[in-house]
């Protein structure tokens, strides 16, 4: 079968790529019909559940629409104007930034150190740690939140019992506006650390261990190896993970906010994503929630554009 | 993942004239290594482990600081199983996760094949649309998605749980496109020369080569759908039609301080995935790794 592609000896060498051009596809018209047939399920789900809703959101944001009562008139840009000056929305935006910044160390330095440590020793123990440290990604978010809620229970929870052993006053972990956002960060952090250890491990796996042995024979100390071989390898990953956490943090904390604090106390754990949910499904302000969605979408797309640009630039910079 | 294991040379040993001192230092290094990694593992897994241990404590010991119950009991599990439709919820979760995973894979296999094999002119448009769909925050689309689902009368149905989540197939499509591209074209070219139809090429050449990629995507989509919280919360808020995540949340609201039952229920909803993970951790982490995206 393959003989037909190889051609007679002496003929111009035929590569696989050349061959693909040489072989006739089905007739163009039939090809077009067929390709759309194969692509139609994708087109339908994207239109119905992603791009249709995006357009619908833009339209809804110009309406006064109550989730239970329905459409009650066009309001133009009023929803946007209201949101921009609404203290709750402005605060939720600020909280989103707080989460983004607070989660950065858990997305970068913490998993990086752990991944490097596991990578330094190939042993049974490091395999066990690897398996254990990824486990938080597997545990269902509600089950994880329930476990934390039990530990942080203000009356008899373990956290306060332990404080009590040291003679410290009990803390209202999820009920104090100053502490609750920090707890949301910590509950989310385990999952972020666990996942990013995996990403860093993959980046480290690229390093050829023979290079390291060669470096050692040349007299490199482990500090040299870390500085000149390991760190450069991880810089790109760190930049990517850092940008990713800044852009995604608000979405990553969503489940924990929804389950543990519902945005409270006093809106201290709210963020824009949870705020959209509250506007839409607690206050039934469909138009307002859609306007908030559009604002978030615009900011998010802009941020992602910058991220994609940087990534492309990075790729070009170290293309070998 | 890791390249071939090579000879481990304890650095300390070579840099010290006195071998004994070197060994002691290496041992100290090992102790620190275990202390840090073990400590972090304990910190990260502590709440879950504590919840699991607590679920075996009788009510009068539930707040005790002792990790292991004096009188371990299964009463909370009995309570959770009888008062909480755990089997039904897990069944619904399984149907949802299977439905979404199989659905996304069907869509993705067909689309990836078409995009690579027919090379339609719209290819660039599709890539852009898929990238857009991949990064758009789910929460910004929930309102129109919910309105459409309600209009279709799909609330509290399996269809309503599954079909809208097929919209999140962008990652599956992009991953499979990559894998289809990596399959050498020579075989399908040869088959095409012999007059094979596109669907024959898909079934006999592409699909067999794609099997490992498909199973990785399946694992990824299945686990993330199993743990999905927001969409089921919106469309399946009633306990009897819902999934484990929502049921657990309803249980928490309804039985506020009955932590024994709640923690037992939480354990029951998490254990299936955790057990699968412990048996197939390598395949699962590889699947997540290939995605590169959470």
**Has residue B97 got a pLDDT over 90?**
yes
Q: 163-202 in A: which are within 8 Å (CB) of B?
A: 165, 190, 193-195, 198-199, 201-202
Measured CA to CA in angstroms, residue A120 lies from A115, A201, B2, B102 at distances of 9, 11, 11, 39
- A80 in contact with B, Cβ within 8 Å: no
Distance from A59 to chain B by nearest Cα, in Å? 10
Residue indicated by tokens 């060994």: B23
Largest interatomic CA distance in chain A: 90
Upper half-sphere CA count for residue A64 (Cβ side, 13 Å): 6
Per the CB < 8 Å rule, is B118 touching A156? no
Q: Within a 13 Å sphere around the CA of A57, how many CA atoms are in the beta-carbon half?
A: 30
pLDDT of residue A227: 83
Q: Do B3 and A60 touch (CB under 8 A)?
A: no
Residue B159: the pLDDT is 93
Give the model's pLDDT for residue A283.
Answer: 83
The better pLDDT of the pair B116, A208 is held by: B116
- What is the tens place of the pLDDT at every residue in B155-211? 888 999 999 999 999 989 998 998 898 888 888 888 888 888 888 888 988 899 888
Hey, is the C-beta of A236 within 8 angstroms of any chain B C-beta? no
CB-CB neighbors (< 8 A) of B35 in chain A: none
**A72 SS3 class:** strand
- The CATH homologous superfamily for domain B80-291 is MetI-like (1.10.3720.10)
d(CA A206, CA A200) in angstroms, rounded, equals: 10
> Which pLDDT does position B64 carry in this prediction?
78
For residue A171, what are the contacts with CB-CB under 8 A and spacing of at least 6?
A154, A159, A160, A163, A179
Put simply, the answer to whether B142 touches A4 (Cβ < 8 Å) is no
B-proximal residues of A, 253-282, CB under 8 Å:
254-255, 258-259, 273-274, 276-277, 280-281
CB pairs under 8 A between A and B: 314
Identify the residue among B50, B60, B110, B118 best suited for mutation to test binding to A, counting A beta carbons within 10 A and taking the highest.
B118
Q: What is the pLDDT of residues B212-245, one digit of tens each?
A: 889 888 988 998 899 889 999 999 888 888 898 8
Mean pLDDT of chain B: 83
And the tokens for A223? Answer: 């500090």
Contact at CB, A49 and B227, closer than 8 angstroms: no
Residue A96, classed as helix, strand or coil, is helix
Taking CA atoms, what residue in B is nearest to A156? Answer: B63
Q: Is A165 exposed, middle or buried (0-12, 13-18, 19+ CB in 10 A)?
A: exposed
**pLDDT(B275) > 60:** yes
Place of tokens 């050829």: A208
Among B49, B158, B247, CA closest to A259: B247
Please answer yes or no on whether B263 and A2 come within 8 Å at the CB atom.
no
Q: Tell if the CB–CB gap between A35 and B54 is shorter than 8 Å.
A: no
Please state, in angstroms and rounded to a whole number, the distance separating the CA atoms of residues A317 and A314.
Answer: 5
Q: Mean pLDDT, to the nearest integer, of B249-271?
A: 84
What's the longest Cα–Cα distance across chain B? Answer: 79
Q: Would you place residue B5 in the very low, low, confident or very high pLDDT band (cuts 50, 70, 90)? A: very low
Question: Are A187 and A196 a contacting pair, CB within 8 Å?
Answer: no
Q: CA-CA distance, A292 to A284, in Å (whole number)? A: 13
CA distance B103 to B123: 22
- Burial label for A111, CB within 10 Å (0-12, 13-18, 19+), is buried
Contact A19 B189 (CB under 8 A): yes
Min Cα–Cα distance to chain A from B159, Å:
13
Q: What is the gyration radius of the CA atoms in chain B, in angstroms?
A: 25
> Span B63-91, mean pLDDT?
84
The verdict on a CB contact (< 8 Å) between A49 and B54 is no
Domains of chain A (ranges plus CATH)? 23-60 (no CATH), 78-317 (1.10.3720.10)
Q: From CA A153, how far away is CA B280, in angstroms rounded?
A: 35
Q: List chain A residues with pLDDT less than 70.
A: 1-27, 314-320
> Which residues 62-81 on chain B approach chain A with CB closer than 8 angstroms?
63, 65
Contact list in B for residue A138 (CB cut-off 8 A) is 223, 270, 273-274, 277, 284
User: In angstroms, rounded to a whole number, what is the distance separating the alpha carbons of residues B201 and B189?
Assistant: 9
- C-beta atoms of A286 and B147 within 8 A: yes
A177 backbone φψ class: left, alpha, beta (φ>0; ψ -120 to 50): alpha
* Contact across the interface for A221 and B15, Cβ inside 8 Å: yes
Q: How many residues make up chain B in this entry?
A: 294
Respond yes or no on whether the N-terminal peptide bond of residue A95 is cis (omega within 30° of 0): no
Give residues with Cβ within 8 angstroms of B89, minimum separation 6. Answer: B239, B242, B243, B244, B247, B269
Whether residue A41 contacts residue B106, with contact meaning beta carbons closer than 8 Å, is answered with: yes
A54 reaches B (C-beta below 8 A): yes
- Say if the Cβ atoms of A296 and B294 lie within 8 Å: no
pLDDT of the residue at B87: 86
Instruction: Name the residue ranges covered by the structural domains of chain B.
Output: 11-54, 80-291
Would you say residue B294 has pLDDT above 60? Answer: no
- Mutate which of A106, A140, A145, A194 to test chain B, going by most B C-beta atoms within 10 A? A140
- At A161, is the secondary structure helix, strand, or coil? helix
What pLDDT, on the 0 to 100 scale, is given for residue A207? 82
A49 with B145: Cβ contact below 8 A:
yes
Chain B residue at shortest CA distance from A41: B107
Asked if A25 lies within 8 A of B192 by C-beta distance, the reply is yes
Strand positions, DSSP E, chain A? 63-66, 70-74
pLDDT (0 to 100) of residue A17: 45
Question: Which chain B residues in 214-243 lie under 8 Å from chain A, judged by CB atoms?
Answer: 223, 226-227, 229-230, 233-234
Cβ separation of B140 and A132 shorter than 8 Å? no
Residues B294 and B121: their CA atoms lie apart, in Å, by: 30
Q: Do A276 and B143 touch (CB under 8 A)?
A: yes
User: Around Cβ B7, how many Cβ atoms within 10 Å?
Assistant: 6
Give me the DSSP letters along chain B.
-PPPP-----HHHHT-SSHHHHHHHHHHHHHHHHHHHHHHHHHHHHHHHHHHHHTTS-GGGTT-S-SS-SS---HHHHHHHHHS-HHHHHHHHHHHHHHHHHHHHHHHHHHHHHHHHT--TTHHHHHHHHHHHHHS-GGGGHHHHHHHHHHTT-TTSHHHHHHHHHTT-HHHHHHHHHHHHHS-HHHHHHHHHTT--HHHHIIIIIHHHHHHHHHHHHHHHHHHHHT--HHHHHH--SGGG--HHHHHHHHHHHTTT-HHHHHHHHHHHHHHHHHHHHHSHHHHHHHHHHH---
pLDDT at B154: 92
């Amino acid at each position: 079968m393959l003989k037909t592609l190889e051609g007679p000896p002496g003929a111009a060498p035929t590569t696989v790529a050349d061959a693909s051009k040489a072989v006739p596809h089905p007739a163009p018209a039939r090809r077009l019909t067929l390709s759309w047939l194969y692509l139609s399920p994708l087109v339908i789900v994207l239109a119905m559940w992603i791009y249709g809703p995006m357009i619908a959101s833009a339209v809804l944001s110009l309406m006064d629409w109550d989730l239970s009562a329905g459409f009650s008139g066009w309001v133009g840009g009023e929803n946007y104007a209201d949101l921009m000056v609404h203290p709750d929305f402005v605060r939720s935006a600020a909280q989103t930034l707080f989460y983004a910044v607070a989660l950065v160390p858990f997305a970068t330095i913490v998993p990086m150190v752990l991944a490097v440590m596991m990578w330094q020793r190939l042993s049974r123990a490091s395999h066990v740690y690897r398996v254990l440290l990824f486990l938080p990604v597997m545990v269902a978010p509600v089950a994880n939140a329930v476990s934390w809620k039990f530990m942080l229970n203000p009356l008899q929870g373990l956290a306060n019992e332990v404080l009590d052993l040291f003679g410290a006053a009990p803390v209202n972990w999820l009920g104090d506006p100053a502490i609750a956002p920090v707890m949301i960060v910590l509950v989310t952090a385990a999952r972020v650390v666990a996942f990013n250890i995996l990403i860093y491990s993959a980046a480290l796996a690229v390093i050829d261990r023979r290079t390291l042995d060669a470096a050692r024979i040349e007299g490199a100390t482990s500090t040299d190896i870390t500085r000149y071989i390991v760190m450069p390898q991880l810089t790109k990953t760190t930049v990517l993970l850092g940008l990713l956490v800044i852009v995604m943090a608000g979405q990553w904390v969503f489940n924990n906010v929804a389950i543990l604090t519902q945005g409270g106390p006093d809106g201290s754990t709210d963020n824009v994503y949870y705020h959209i949910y509250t506007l839409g499904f607690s206050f039934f302000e469909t138009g307002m929630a859609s306007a908030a969605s559009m604002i978030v979408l615009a900011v998010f797309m802009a941020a992602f554009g910058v991220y994609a640009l940087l990534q492309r630039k990075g790729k070009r910079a170290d293309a070998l | 993942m890791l390249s071939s294991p090579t000879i481990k040379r304890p650095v300390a040993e070579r840099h010290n004239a006195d071998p004994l001192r070197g060994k002691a230092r290496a041992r100290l290094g090992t102790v620190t290594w275990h202390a840090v990694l073990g400590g972090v593992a304990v910190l990260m897994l502590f709440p879950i482990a504590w919840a699991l241990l607590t679920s075996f404590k009788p009510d009068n010991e539930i707040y005790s600081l002792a990790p292991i119950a004096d009188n371990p009991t299964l009463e909370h599990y009995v309570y959770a199983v009888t008062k909480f439709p755990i089997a039904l919820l897990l069944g619904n979760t399984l149907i949802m996760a299977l439905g979404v995973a199989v659905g996304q894979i069907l869509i993705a296999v067909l689309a990836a094949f078409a995009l690579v094999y027919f090379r339609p002119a719209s290819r660039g448009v599709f890539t852009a649309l898929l990238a857009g769909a991949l990064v758009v925050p789910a929460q910004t689309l929930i309102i129109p998605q919910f309105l459409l689902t309600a209009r279709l009368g799909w609330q509290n149905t399996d269809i309503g749980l599954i079909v809208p989540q097929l919209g999140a197939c962008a990652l599956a499509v992009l991953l499979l496109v990559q894998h289809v591209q990596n399959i050498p074209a020579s075989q399908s070219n040869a088959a095409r020369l012999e007059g094979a139809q596109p669907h024959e090429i898909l079934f006999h050449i592409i699909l067999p080569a794609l099997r490992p990629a498909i199973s990785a995507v399946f694992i990824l989509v299945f686990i993330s759908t199993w743990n999905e919280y927001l969409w089921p919360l919106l469309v399946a808020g009633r306990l009897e039609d819902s999934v484990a995540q929502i049921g657990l949340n309803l249980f928490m609201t309804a039985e506020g301080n009955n932590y024994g039952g709640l923690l037992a229920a939480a354990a029951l909803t998490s254990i299936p995935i955790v057990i699968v993970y412990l048996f197939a951790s390598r395949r699962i982490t590889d699947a997540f790794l290939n995605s590169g995206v959470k």
